[in-house]
Structure 1
Amino acid sequence: MRNRSLSIRSLRLLAAAMAVLFVALGVTWPTVAEADQAHLVVLATSDLHGHIYPIDYFTNKADDGGLAQIYTYVKQVRSDNRNVLLVDNGDVLEGGNSVLPYHYMFDSGAPNPMIKVMNLMGYDSMSLGNHEFNYGLKTLGKAVSEARFPVISANIVRESGESFILPYTIKDFGEFKVGVLGITTPKVPTWEKPENIEGLVFMSPLETALKYVPQMRAQGADVVIIVGHTGWERKPKDSGKLDAWGSPDNWVDTGQAEENWALRLADNVPGLDAIVAGHDHLAVPMVAKMGDIVTTDVIITQPGQWGDYVSRIDMTLERGADGRWHVAERSSTVVPMAGVQPAPEVVDAAKYYHDQTVEFFKSPVAQATGDMPGGPPARFYDNALVEMINEAQLWATGADISIAALFTDTSKIDKGPMTMQDVYGLYVYPNTLYTIKINGKQLREAIEASANYFNTYTGQTDLASLVNTSMRGYNYDIYQGVEYTIDISKPLGQRVRELKFKGEDVRPDQEFVVALNNYRAGGGGGYTMFRNAQLLSESTTEVREIMVDYLRVVGKFGPESVDNNWRLLPAVVEDMARKH
């Protein structure tokens, strides 16, 4: 008894001494409540498109966004939080205004710059986007092999039915596990060259999620998140304003239900906690249960494009009586990277790629004989920028007709020396050139489809009110080789008032050879009349490289090259645009 009493007394003294020591050191014992509660932070990027440095390579000016700024924020969050998950939502491996064009053209044997930096940053996963396939499966495979994090997509399978790549990943934080399911928009076959996705099948995102989420739960995932490169079936009319996403009012159908699945995934997948959306480049702080938009507890966020925002999801987890964790509270927001200092580690890691890119974009191409303005007004009249693309495509193919679009609202070329910077700023995507055979009926249908870009004219004096914002600018085509007028005071489908080829009216059965990019030839943008057209030729050379070759041959290009082969009616609309 005496020995036992001494033992107990000794233990009590030791416990008291340890308690004093822990208090002195600022250490506290967790309470029962604290032990049964945990906090998770998910940080997500999407549609980075090769952006590392906060710079616009097309203007040589500072421009917020990119991995260098993001890593500074990530380090701060990690220092303040124990459980942080860093994920990306795809469209990482392609980008015109980035270090990637030089890398793929001249230095493709070196480590992919985006993967190199993401490895440094400690990403936990990356979902595949549609642009990951632009350079083919070999290039994608090299990037995946270099990644020190899982690259995932559950709804891409081989023709045999086996997974193309890992469908999901589960990260063990010790206390709990988080499952991340990768989803890719199933519309990739519509846009991508067949050889770049040979042997692959793109399945329904909803059916895929219904299959895998229960598996992830069964494997111990306490939290399940879809990081899906897919966007919105509906969105607020003012979707460019962050606060518009917090109200169920004034939502409109996007007409893109085949490619965008975020809302259906949120409402129809049991066991799902949150979604990181992507693909359509929107910044969305949080869409949660409201009206008929989302009817479950799943929250959706989206981090914009080019690293201008990071989506942040905060979750409070509580342990239930069964010992399993569940999400008690959840919220999300988007954090702007504007003004954030670039992380020196990333700046150093990407310096070689950056320096080579700057020199590449300085390379001279031709002489611009005058200013060539762009922006939305340039879609209202025949302009030199699209004329340049179309003339290059006709020069390269000898086609009867060429089709091209202004991809961005910011492209312009000033009078003076024209450089690679100007060409790549105008033609930002790595599309290749096809020729197809179509008839006059299909040609008229295609021009009518382009005319949907304009709202019906009823006397408006504001140019912006004439733009149909549900149609992306890069899906409005301008044609060279035919003469035509579009009357936007007429109803949709009845706007092409004149259509001639070499001065003669186009007959419905008349056949034409048409030059256009691979995206449009596959029916991208809703141009289904091209999808089954006879394919005559396809180039492996990018359109922008063809433009460079053409411009170096002709030596100069400018406003005098415009032939005004098409125009908008009423004439007051074009006049208004030219004065804009």
Structure 2
Amino acid sequence: MPIHRLSRRELLLATAAGALVAFVPAVAAAAEPTVRLRLMATTDLHVNVYPYDYYRDKADDTVGLAKTAALIAAARDEARNAILFDNGDLIQGSPLGDYIAYEKGLDGGNKHPIVAAMNGLGYLCGTLGNHEFNYGLDFLGKALSGAEFPAVCANVLKPDGTPLIEPTRVFDAKVIDADGNEHVLRIGVIGFVPPQIVQWDKDNLEGKATTIDIVDAAGKYLPALRQQSDVVVALCHSGIAGGERAGGEENAALFLSRVPGIDAIFTGHQHLVFPGKDFAGIDGADIDKGTLNGVPTVMPGFWGSHLGVIDLDLVKQGEGWKVSGFKVEARPIYERTPDKKIVSRVDAVPAVLASVKADHEATLDYVRRPVGETSAAISSYWALVADDPSVQIVSQAQLWYGAAQAKAAGLPDLPILSAAAPFKCGGRSGPDYYTFVPKGPIAIKNVADIYLYPNTIRIVKITGEQLREWLERSAGIFNRIDPTKIDEQPLIDTSFPSYNYDVVDGVTYRIDVTQDKRYDNDGKVIAEDAHRIVDLAYRGKPVEPTQEFLVVTNNYRAGGGGHFPGADGSTVVFQGPDSNRDVIVRYIVETKTINPSADGNWSIARLPDNVNLTFPNSPNATLDTVPAGVKVEKVGDAGDGFAKYRLTVA
């Protein structure tokens, strides 16, 4: 395994002098040298450099590497020995990323803006995230080629079985001990990505790359890495999930922590924060200390919202070093006051802003281009409680495109449906994370606000039984409601991601939330006798179990994303060359003036009037956008900046 020797510049960055933070009991009396090593990491930056929301076209103090950079500088000033990593999902996820991928390109030596910004911050190493593959391997290679730091990933392989990129790396880092003496630590780094990328990005990876289980990859490479390293760091672009390991998990960090030889884990992918309440109740996860099965672990949010910090106390033992203590924290760039205001904790670093200024300004021009008109406002404020225009416009475009493509491809003459989900519905991303497009001109930024991801079109062929189960899986977003209770009952399971709440247009149905969930959040049947989907019909007639349909969806869902019945990759009958977002743009250009009003094809089944259903929503939600068929009223504060609403089903 090659040993990478740090350059003088890297050594200076890794050993920036400053006040030493006391995070464990003093061990100065120990006979052996002691070193306090600070490990820092960002994760899930998704091309958020400026503190700016391109979808709303306004400044946003909750995001941006330019602000995280201030935390990085402060953390370095506090510690003698500090090293910085990144945990993946860099090059996709904001309109700035789309502008580079679809408009500017990376030919001619152009550096990707997120890479240009990171180059100035002294990263030692990074890993790949699942969204690194969204634009193809060629684009990924060009983006990585501009980085002044390497990336590692142990569980993505070329067709011949060799690693796509280096699986591990060992760095020599000069450190200063408690007595001021110099030592060289061997820092071993290994990286991982969810193995599901071969499904989610099948078009880009089929015949070009395969994946293996995260834990299996760790078992393969860690023994040798441990022998060559004093400290081993795992960059795990995978989240934290409990239960028993079955293999192939998307969120495998907890299982990875059981593999011997790892001193610290940086995790991500879920856009959550660890240590913290997001992971309460998971056996093996200490949400106060920040450990997984005793291994120091941090998940530092997303979009630059936090900096992950793991401080290790190391004691020299013979020829090696042993961890004798640690402290873990996720440091935020902002805080939310009790009156729901955002208060920035740091200022953006001017040098980081300057590194991407030209691309930022070009992106603003890109997203402001008008493509048509909308005859009504489009919002996602009510998308989880009623049929909604932000989902309706996606389905209108998908049905328009799907009908033409199905005919041209000679697909069976079957009913064509559309499956689409609301992407921006608050949740973990906060009370401002909703789509709102006013009546009038509609621009590319508005389309990107409606459809966030660069998914591509798929058409699957499924049966009526699979369709019903697809909808049952979706209906897991609702809590079970007791129709006999008059006390307040929360309707929405806020742990359920809204992007897994598929609405299927082209059929009509109701959702009986008095029934138990049939599926859990991982797509496993947990109540075989529960059936929430009622009155499922196509053109007024009940859907038969053996009846066949074509469903227009995206590559993520069709390839197994979210674990939906009827969508595991085997039912795909058409793979479109176009992205779902481009299809929406073309539909608007073709139609000129769109009418996104929802048609009310689904609803929550009627409940007694005295049932008190509540749900969190944006405090900015406008009542004049409430769809027909439901009645809502604001009734108080839902916490974390959200307002609480009461729902009455008409």
Into which bin does the TM-score normalised by the smaller protein fall?
A: 0.7 to 0.9
Q: Map Cα deviations across residues 88-115 of structure 1 (whole Å, 9 max, x no partner).
A: 111111113x411111111013321111
The partner residue of 1:554 within 546, 569, 591 is 591
Question: How has the CA–CA distance of structure 1 residues 461 and 479 changed in structure 2, closer, same or farther, with 3 Å as cutoff?
Answer: farther
The partner residue of 2:303 within 303, 306, 312 is 306
Cα deviation for residue 47 of structure 1 reads 0.7
Q: Distance in 1 between matches of 2:309 and 2:66?
A: 17
CA contact (8 A) 2:212 2:248 kept: no
Is the counterpart of residue 211 in structure 1 residue 220 in structure 2?
yes
Indicate the residue corresponding to 1:447 in structure 2: 471
Q: Distance in 1 between matches of 2:147 and 2:102?
A: 21
Indicate the residue corresponding to 1:575 in structure 2: 630
CA contact (8 A) 2:284 2:293 kept: no
Q: TM-score, normalised by structure 1?
A: 0.85
Q: Distance in 2 between matches of 1:360 and 1:125?
A: 32
CA contact (8 A) 1:47 1:305 kept: yes
Q: Distance in 2 between matches of 1:495 and 1:297?
A: 41
Indicate the residue corresponding to 1:247 in structure 2: none
Cα deviation for residue 171 of structure 1 reads 1.9
SS state at 1:116 partner: helix
Q: Distance in 1 between matches of 2:532 and 2:320?
A: 62
CA contact (8 A) 1:38 1:318 kept: yes
SS state at 2:398 partner: helix
The partner residue of 2:264 within 266, 274, 277 is 274
Q: Map Cα deviations across residues 225-247 of structure 1 (whole Å, 9 max, x no partner).
A: 1110011113xxxxxxxxxxxxx
The partner residue of 1:496 within 528, 533, 541 is 533
Cα deviation for residue 490 of structure 1 reads 2.5
SS state at 1:378 partner: coil
CA contact (8 A) 1:438 1:533 kept: no
Give the letter for the 2:464 counterpart: G
Is the counterpart of residue 418 in structure 1 residue 442 in structure 2?
yes
The partner residue of 1:45 within 37, 42, 45 is 42
Cα deviation for residue 381 of structure 1 reads 1.2
Q: Distance in 1 between matches of 2:84 and 2:585?
A: 39
Q: Distance in 2 between matches of 1:462 and 1:523?
A: 38
SS state at 2:630 partner: helix
Q: Map Cα deviations across residues 382-404 of structure 1 (whole Å, 9 max, x no partner).
A: 11111100000011121611110
SS state at 1:93 partner: coil
Indicate the residue corresponding to 1:188 in structure 2: 197
Question: How has the CA–CA distance of structure 1 residues 197 and 135 changed in structure 2, closer, same or farther, with 3 Å as cutoff?
Answer: farther
Indicate the residue corresponding to 1:238 in structure 2: none
Cα deviation for residue 319 of structure 1 reads 1.0
Q: Distance in 2 between matches of 1:222 and 1:197?
A: 38
Give the letter for the 1:335 counterpart: R
Indicate the residue corresponding to 1:478 in structure 2: 503
Indicate the residue corresponding to 1:69 in structure 2: 67
Q: Distance in 2 between matches of 1:113 and 1:509?
A: 51
Give the letter for the 1:88 counterpart: D
CA contact (8 A) 1:136 1:197 kept: no
Cα deviation for residue 264 of structure 1 reads 1.6
Indicate the residue corresponding to 2:419 in structure 1: 403
Of the structure 1 ranges 116-125 and 47-56, higher mean CA displacement relative to structure 2 is found in 116-125
Give the letter for the 2:49 counterpart: I
CA contact (8 A) 1:435 1:536 kept: yes
Unaligned runs of 5+ in 2: 1-27, 175-182, 286-290, 335-343, 407-415, 426-433, 519-529, 614-628, 635-644, 646-650
Give the letter for the 1:381 counterpart: A
Give the letter for the 1:308 counterpart: S
SS state at 1:525 partner: coil
Q: Map Cα deviations across residues 513-553 of structure 1 (whole Å, 9 max, x no partner).
A: 21111111112111142225443322222111111111122
Indicate the residue corresponding to 2:395 in structure 1: 390
Question: How has the CA–CA distance of structure 1 residues 124 and 464 changed in structure 2, closer, same or farther, with 3 Å as cutoff?
Answer: farther
Give the letter for the 2:269 counterpart: H
Indicate the residue corresponding to 1:167 in structure 2: 167
Give the letter for the 1:131 counterpart: H
The partner residue of 1:456 within 480, 484, 503 is 480
Spell out the pairing of 1:310-389 with structure 2 (5 A cutoff): 310-320=307-317, 322-338=318-334, 339=344, 340-375=346-381, 377-389=382-394
Q: Distance in 1 between matches of 2:435 and 2:74?
A: 36
Indicate the residue corresponding to 1:11 in structure 2: none
Give the letter for the 1:342 counterpart: A
Give the letter for the 2:396 counterpart: E
Indicate the residue corresponding to 1:139 in structure 2: 139
Indicate the residue corresponding to 1:467 in structure 2: 492
The partner residue of 1:506 within 539, 543, 546 is 543
Q: Distance in 1 between matches of 2:347 and 2:32?
A: 36
Number of corresponding residues: 527
Which is helix-richer, 1 or 2?
Answer: 1
Cα deviation for residue 84 of structure 1 reads 1.5
What is the RMSD computed on CA atoms of the aligned residues? 2.7
CA contact (8 A) 2:417 2:504 kept: yes
Indicate the residue corresponding to 2:157 in structure 1: 157
Q: Map Cα deviations across residues 280-315 of structure 1 (whole Å, 9 max, x no partner).
A: 011113799x97446743111110010000001111
Pair member with larger Rg: 1
Q: Distance in 1 between matches of 2:247 and 2:386?
A: 28
Question: How has the CA–CA distance of structure 1 residues 159 and 254 changed in structure 2, closer, same or farther, with 3 Å as cutoff?
Answer: closer
Give the letter for the 2:555 counterpart: N
Indicate the residue corresponding to 1:95 in structure 2: 93
SS state at 2:437 partner: coil
Cα deviation for residue 405 of structure 1 reads 0.4
Question: How has the CA–CA distance of structure 1 residues 534 and 210 changed in structure 2, closer, same or farther, with 3 Å as cutoff?
Answer: closer
